[in-house]
Amino acid sequence: MVPVPLYKPENVIGDEVIDGIRDVLASGWLTLGPETRSFEDEFSTAHTSEHGIAVNSCTSALYACLRALGIDEGDTVVVPAMTFSATANVVRLLGSDVVLCDVTETGNMDPKNLARQLERYDVAAVIPVHLYGLPADMPEICRLAEDHGAAVIEDCAHAPGASIAGKPVGSFGDAGCYSFYATKNMTTGEGGMVVTSDQELAEDVRNLRNHHQTKSPDEKAENWGYDVDGLGFNFRMSEIQAVMGRSQLERLPEMNEERRRVAQQYIESLDGISGLEWVGDRDTINEHVFHLFVIRVADEYPLSRQQLYDHLAEDDITTGVHYPPISELSYYDDIRGDHDTTDGLYGNILSLPMFPEMTDTEQQTVIESLREPIDE
Ligand X SMILES: Cc1ncc(COP(=O)(O)O)c(C=O)c1O
Nearest to 376 by CA among 327, 331, 311: 311
Between 86 and 114, name the residue whose CB sits nearer to ligand X. Answer: 86
Number of residues that bind ligand X (CB under 6 A): 14
Site membership for ligand X, residue 248 (CB under 6 A): no
Closest distance between ligand X and the C-beta of residue 16, in Å? 24
Alpha helices in 130-271 (DSSP H): 138-147, 199-209, 217-222, 239-270
d(C-alpha 343, C-alpha 359), whole Å:
34
Site membership for ligand X, residue 78 (CB under 6 A): no
Closest distance between ligand X and the C-beta of residue 186, in Å? 12
d(C-alpha 55, C-alpha 34), whole Å:
15
Contact 172, 154 (CB under 8 A): yes
d(C-alpha 256, C-alpha 184), whole Å:
11
Radius of gyration (C-alpha) of the chain in whole angstroms: 21
Contacts of residue 213, defined as CB under 8 A and 6 or more positions apart, other chains included, come to 207, 220, 226, 227, 228, 232
Q: Per residue, what are the HEC states of 26-84?
A: HHCCCECCHHHHHHHHHHHHHCCCCEEEEECCHHHHHHHHHHHCCCCCCCEEEEECCCC
Between 58 and 279, name the residue whose CB sits nearer to ligand X. Answer: 58
Within residues 10-69, the interface with ligand X by CB under 6 A covers 57-59
Distance, first Cα to last Cα, the chain: 18
Between 303 and 326, name the residue whose CB sits nearer to ligand X. Answer: 326
Of 29, 181, 233, 309, the one binding ligand X by CB under 6 A: 181
Closest distance between ligand X and the C-beta of residue 81, in Å? 12
CA distances 212 to 152, 230, 256, 296, Å, are: 24, 5, 36, 46
Closest distance between ligand X and the C-beta of residue 368, in Å? 30
Among the residue ranges 63-71, 79-87, 213-221, 234-242, the one whose residues contact ligand X (CB under 6 A): 79-87
Site membership for ligand X, residue 98 (CB under 6 A): no
CA angle, 52 then 56 then 126, to 5° = 65
Site membership for ligand X, residue 86 (CB under 6 A): yes
Closest distance between ligand X and the C-beta of residue 86, in Å? 4
Nearest to 108 by CA among 360, 287, 279: 279
Between 184 and 206, name the residue whose CB sits nearer to ligand X. Answer: 184
Closest distance between ligand X and the C-beta of residue 129, in Å? 5
Between 44 and 56, name the residue whose CB sits nearer to ligand X. Answer: 56
Site membership for ligand X, residue 238 (CB under 6 A): no
* 3 state DSSP class of 293: strand
Between 14 and 189, name the residue whose CB sits nearer to ligand X. Answer: 189
Site membership for ligand X, residue 157 (CB under 6 A): yes
Burial of 149 (C-beta count, 10 Å sphere; 0-12/13-18/19+)? exposed
Among the residue ranges 83-91, 244-252, 264-272, 274-282, the one whose residues contact ligand X (CB under 6 A): 83-91
Nearest to 248 by CA among 23, 17, 56: 17
Between 29 and 181, name the residue whose CB sits nearer to ligand X. Answer: 181
Of 44, 179, 319, 348, the one binding ligand X by CB under 6 A: 179
Within residues 103-132, the interface with ligand X by CB under 6 A covers 129
Site membership for ligand X, residue 192 (CB under 6 A): yes
Site membership for ligand X, residue 87 (CB under 6 A): yes
Closest distance between ligand X and the C-beta of residue 316, in Å? 25
Closest distance between ligand X and the C-beta of residue 246, in Å? 18
* Contacting positions for ligand X (CB under 6 A): 57-59, 83-84, 86-87, 129, 155, 157-158, 179, 181, 192
